[in-house]
Amino acid sequence: MLRRIFGRLGAATLVVVCLAGFPAMGEPAATPDQFVKTLADRAIEVVNSAELNYDEQVRRLRGLLIEGFDVPLMARFVLGVNWRRATPSQRDEYLKLFEEMIVQTYLRRFREYSGVEFVVDGIKQKVDGDYFVTSTVKRPGEPAFMVDWRVRDAAGGFKIIDVVAENLSMALSQRDDFSSVIQRYGGEVDGLLREMREKIEQAKGTARS
């Protein structure tokens, strides 16, 4: 019962934020939950926009991602021990490919979730300086699910460093995924880079349809 009331309150807040427009856009968010809310609202606005074509959506979403996520940190975490073994040029390419993959993944997710209600429920925990902002994604006719955003208060403002959906960490599963690929290529980072390139091309092929 309480949860429902809070859920509604959350929704109301979300609407208020939308109505207020984005004057706060340039300013750094005061609290991590506010930061997540604003970022998600802006992303949803981009993917729901009828005027923007696909390329423009990708461009804007990439901008939001780079602004809101610490992509290089996530990338290095995901590569794990192999980061140290990669050459500088492999690292450069890996960072580019990682960013591209993340953009594609989130673009697709946000597009699929257009029409859903996204409610930021608040800060759940603060662990070693990182905030866990918890949110609920409500889909019409389907059970809601929980997404936690691990937010770090860095020098340049808040940055998301992991997304934890229903207790499953994206960074962790991606790290296991990537390390398995490298292992299959006998420890060659180039094998991973090749598979990443293929995945990106493949996703580009289906994204526009």
Percentages of the chain per state (helix, strand, coil), in multiples of 5: 60, 20, 20
Question: Integer distance in angstroms from the first to the last C-alpha of the chain?
Answer: 42
Q: Which is nearer to another protein, 22 or 198 (CB)?
A: 198
Q: Is 158 an interacting residue with respect to another protein (CB under 8 A)?
A: no
Beta carbons within 10 angstroms of residue 49's beta carbon: 12
Q: Is 109 an interacting residue with respect to another protein (CB under 8 A)?
A: yes
- 4 in the Ramachandran plot: left (φ > 0), alpha (ψ -120 to 50) or beta? alpha
Q: Which of 40, 79, 103, 119 binds another protein (CB under 8 A)?
A: 79
Binding window for another protein (CB under 8 A); candidates: 38-46, 61-69, 87-95, 119-127: 119-127
Residue 25 has what DSSP assignment? G
Q: Is 111 an interacting residue with respect to another protein (CB under 8 A)?
A: no
Q: Which of 42, 91, 108, 111 binds another protein (CB under 8 A)?
A: 108
Strand order in the sheet with 130-138: 117-127, 130-138, 145-154, 157-165, 168-169
d(CA 35, CA 151): 9
- Contact assessment for residue 203 and residue 110, using Cβ atoms and an 8 Å cutoff: no
Q: How far is the CB of 166 from another protein (least distance, A)?
A: 5
Q: Which of 87, 184, 187, 204 binds another protein (CB under 8 A)?
A: 184
Q: How far is the CB of 12 from another protein (least distance, A)?
A: 17
**Residues lying near another protein in the complex (CB under 8 A):** 1, 4, 73, 76-77, 79-81, 83-84, 101, 105, 108-109, 112, 124-125, 127-130, 132, 134, 141-146, 148, 150, 152, 162, 164-169, 171-181, 184, 192, 195-196, 199, 203
